Amino acid sequence: MLTRLARLRVPLGFLAAAVAFGLARPSWRSWAAGLAVAVVGEGLRLWAAGHIEKGKEITRSGPYRLVRHPLYVGSSVLGTGFAIAAQSLVVSVLVVLYLGITLTAAVRVEEASLDEKFDGAYSDYRAGAIGGVDRPFSWRRVAVNREYRAVLGLAAAFVVLVLRIGR
């Protein structure tokens, strides 16, 4: 069940977004405040995407030295920014439910998979028994990890919210 839910998080995200856009009641003030928060979330995602080598290692550089799932933390901050911009209690609840359920499933599935793939080393990382490593940020890794899709999604979402202002 968790694996299926983790795999469905993107299509479920599009569905949740469609509902959220319909319920959004942004003002210029809420839009600007939400955008500021969302940009911080995307900044964290970019930083993480510039360090992660998906499927090749247990990444321990950059934000992974500080938190196990910086991409998901960034997504949560980004979602919070969207909820602020939408200026709707129902949208806020929808965002919290969507992120809480789907990211929890994704974390559990991903952690089990990494622990299996790397012979228990992920459990050591999670327990703090393996330290961080120094590795420079790479725009090449950002591109390989296709983080431009999240940047474009953020821009599109806030353009749609502009169109909802005053409606």
| Residue % of the chain over a pLDDT of 90 | 83
Spatial CB neighbours of 99, under 8 Å, sequence gap ≥ 6: 75, 76, 79
User: What is the Cα–Cα distance from 46 to 9, expressed in whole angstroms?
Assistant: 20
Residue 167, pLDDT > 80, answer no
> What is the reported pLDDT for 162?
97
CA 139 to chain CA centroid, Å, is 18
Give the pTM: 0.92
Residue among 114, 65, 75, 66 at smallest CA distance from 95: 75
Residue 20, pLDDT > 90, answer yes
Q: If residue 41 lies in a helix (H) or strand (E), which one and from where to where? A: helix 28-49
Asked if residues 52 and 59 have their Cβ atoms less than 8 Å apart, the reply is: yes
Residue 83, pLDDT > 90, answer yes
